[in-house]
Chain A
Amino acid sequence: MNNYELMVIFTPVLSEEDFKSAQKKYQDLIKENGGDTVASNPWGLKSLAYPIDKKTTGIYWILEFTGPATINEKLKIQFLRDEQIMRHMITKLDKYAVEYNHIKRNGGFPVHKAVEA
């Protein structure tokens, strides 16, 4: 059971409930394939650093989940098939990354990027 982090950029034209239903769809997909979601963090509409498919804004969504290694291939097929998704990226999290995300979620670092008191 590895830890993964998924970042997805949806087309900006997506409505709010479509966005929610897409999130739910993929979280259920992960559950079906024997994984479970640790945290979901939708950033919402954000301007892109460079235009993708002629669009300069996108809806970001970050999902941290755990699952067997075989889960990513299935997810990738779904992402490529879904035309609402402009870009996606799944990164493997090592133990420092998991710890970092955990701290970031509950309370954050005592002093940002400085010597921990």
Chain B
Amino acid sequence: MAKNEIKYLTAIKQEKPKKKFCRFKKYGIKYVDYKDIEFLKKFVNEQGKMLPRRLSGNSLKYQRKVADAVKKARQMSLLPYVTDLFK
């Protein structure tokens, strides 16, 4: 339709990115358990590196708790420090 013919300087965002929310506030989780690997895997990418806040959508207070839990899990070799495609 007419709109597509118009060339924009920057590409228009096709789909609106879904609103990120802090799952800890929404679900009322207060403690991040370093032994709960399945839950921690949501905050770690394929290489085993921690996701930044802008991707995980956490608030600062809970991102720090997640970071602390992931480091403890790595120390006790529940999570690898670095790996490839371990998800």
Contact = CB atoms under 8 A, between A and B. Distances in A.
Interface of A: 7, 9, 48-50, 52, 58, 62, 87, 89, 91, 94, 96-97, 99-100, 104, 113-116
Contacts, number: 45
Q: Which 5 A-B pairs have the closest CB atoms?
A: A96-B30, A49-B80, A96-B31, A48-B77, A100-B31
Chain B interface extent, by class: 20 to 34
A82 to B, nearest CB: 17
Contacts of A62: 35
A113 B33 CA distance: 12
B6 interface: no
> By DSSP majority rule, is chain B's interface helix, strand, loop, or mixed?
loop
Contact of B79 (A49, A89, A113): A49
B42 to A, nearest CB: 9
A9 B35 CA distance: 13
Residue from A87, A99, A100, A104 whose CB has the most chain B CB atoms within 10 Å: A100
B85 interface: no
Contacts of B27: 113-115
Contact of B33 (A52, A94, A100, A116): A100
11 contacts: A7-B76, A50-B81, A52-B77, A87-B75, A87-B76, A89-B75, A91-B34, A100-B31, A113-B27, A113-B29, A115-B27
